[in-house]
Amino acid sequence: MKVETLKKRLDKNRPMITITIRIPEDVIEDLKRVAPLLGFSGYQSLARAYIGQGLRADLERLEGDTVSALIASLKRLGVSDEVIQEALSEVAEC
């Protein structure tokens, strides 16, 4: 994830949207019980954290798959490992 994207994600004043989602009662009770033990002010904060955590993991996996596919394609097209590594290093600095 790029630094700028990460900074935006950490901004506490990001715009929020209200949604309605149906979740089993026992799951909500578990969230309410676990939230204070993990230092969250309430179960909704914990639910948002769980959603964000799963989303970040999926985004990283999916973006990683795209990068891996691109690298494989470049190698098939004859681009040297040195050039690929140089490009990856350059992108990592951004």
At 33 the pLDDT is 97
The answer to whether residues 64 and 55 touch, using CB atoms and an 8 Å cutoff, is no
Asked if residue 45 lies in contact with residue 35, where contact means CB atoms within 8 angstroms, the answer is yes
Please report the pLDDT score of residue 3 as a whole number: 62
Q: What is the pTM of this model?
A: 0.62
Give me the average pLDDT of each 10-residue run along the chain (94 residues): 64 87 97 96 94 88 81 90 85 70
Can you read off the two tokens belonging to residue 31?
């969230």
